[in-house]
Amino acid sequence: MTWKFVGASVQGTSHQEHSLDCQDICVCRCQNLGGQEIFWAIVADGAGSADMSEIGSQVTSFGVANKIERWLRRHEGQVSLINKDVVIEWITTAQNALVSISKSKERQVRDYACTVLGIVCGPKNAVAFQIGDGAIVAATDMDHYEAVCWPENGEYANSTYFITDSNALEHLQVKFLNTPHKLALMTDGLHNLALHFATRSVHAPFFEPMFNRLMSEKQGFSELLTQQLKDFLDSKPVNQRTDDDKTLVLAVKAL
């Protein structure tokens, strides 16, 4: 296995105060298919305004993850065959699942509102997608970080787009890129620490120490660093900058 990765979701301080569940979730996995190694990750952030959004983010992330896993198996890990229609099909499946659960609970689908972001990386090609805020960051050469998907907020700072919106697919970003050596997915709770909005750029010092530490781990999912990542995400310096739930997935590809 060439990927080393870690991911964690931690409840924000404002949600602790209001005894809400953590509405963030992340799923990441490394699969071996047809002699190819595929790394993929999905992150979802439930809307604070939606009563059932922690369910919404679970249904969305597991729904999309399940689709990706099956698609990859059926296509023997050919990431280069993923086009925008394939991503739309994954998203639509999750939307349908959200509609059926809302109907079965006699609720509105917007009660399950969440954002979603994900990346699928083959040996050479990768596909990233996102609806709403949060960001996907990649280092294409060793030192330069770029946001593959930038948060989409609409006009106002306190608005965003959700997978449950009727026009969600209009706000679906799909990006095709060369598989990066380092990548990160985050929810909006970490925007202010990791991104520089005035210049629309990535704040590299936020990521570098963590990527460097991850490089020294053994391959695969790091249990050890997961706890350290959780501690970091719940630390005072982070909580002073944000009171929201926060999720971070980090992955590096051994050369």
Partner 1 sequence: MSEFDFNLEQIPFGTDNFAANPEPRCPVVLLLDRSASMAGEPIAQLNAGLVTFKDELMADQLAAKRVEISIVTFGPVEIQNEFLLAHEFSPPTLTASGDTPMGAAITQGIDLLQARKSIYRANGISYYRPWLFLITDGGPTDYWQTAATQVHEGEKAKAFSFYTVAVANANIEVLNQIAVPHRQPQHLKGLQFRPLFVWLSNSVRAVSGSAPGDVVRLTNPATPDGWAEA
Residues that bind partner 1 (CB under 8 A): 46-50, 53, 113, 132-133, 153, 155-160, 162, 188, 197-200, 244
Lookup result for tokens 């959700």: 162
- The residue (of 23 and 95) whose beta carbon lies closer to partner 1 is 23
What is the β-pairing status of strands 182-186 and 125-131? unpaired
Task: Give buried/exposed letters for 155-170 (b at 16+ CB in 10 A, else e).
Answer: eeeeebbbbbbeebee
Q: Would you state the structure tokens that stand for residue 56, as one six-digit string?
A: 């919404």
CB 62 → partner 1: shortest distance, Å?
20
CB of 44 to partner 1, least distance (A): 12
174 three-class SS: strand
Q: Is the CB of 4 or the CB of 15 nearer to partner 1? A: 15
Decide if 9 contacts 245 (C-beta within 8 A): yes
| Residues belonging to the chain | 255
Query: Contact at 8 Å (CB) between 109 and 97?
Result: no
- In the bound state with partner 1, the residue whose beta carbon lies nearer, of 177 and 204, is 204
CA 52 to chain centre: 19
Q: CB-wise, 152 or 208, nearer to partner 1?
A: 152
CB 168 → partner 1: shortest distance, Å? 14
Give me the least distance between CB of 110 and partner 1, in Å please.
10
Closest CA to 10 of 229, 184, 250, 236: 229
Q: How far is the CB of 230 from partner 1 (least distance, A)?
A: 21
14 vs 228, beta carbon nearer partner 1: 14
Closest distance between partner 1 and the C-beta of residue 253, in Å? 31
Contact status, residue 191 vs residue 162, Cβ threshold 8 Å: no
The residue (of 73 and 197) whose beta carbon lies closer to partner 1 is: 197
Cα angle: 172, vertex 176, 178; to 5 degrees: 150
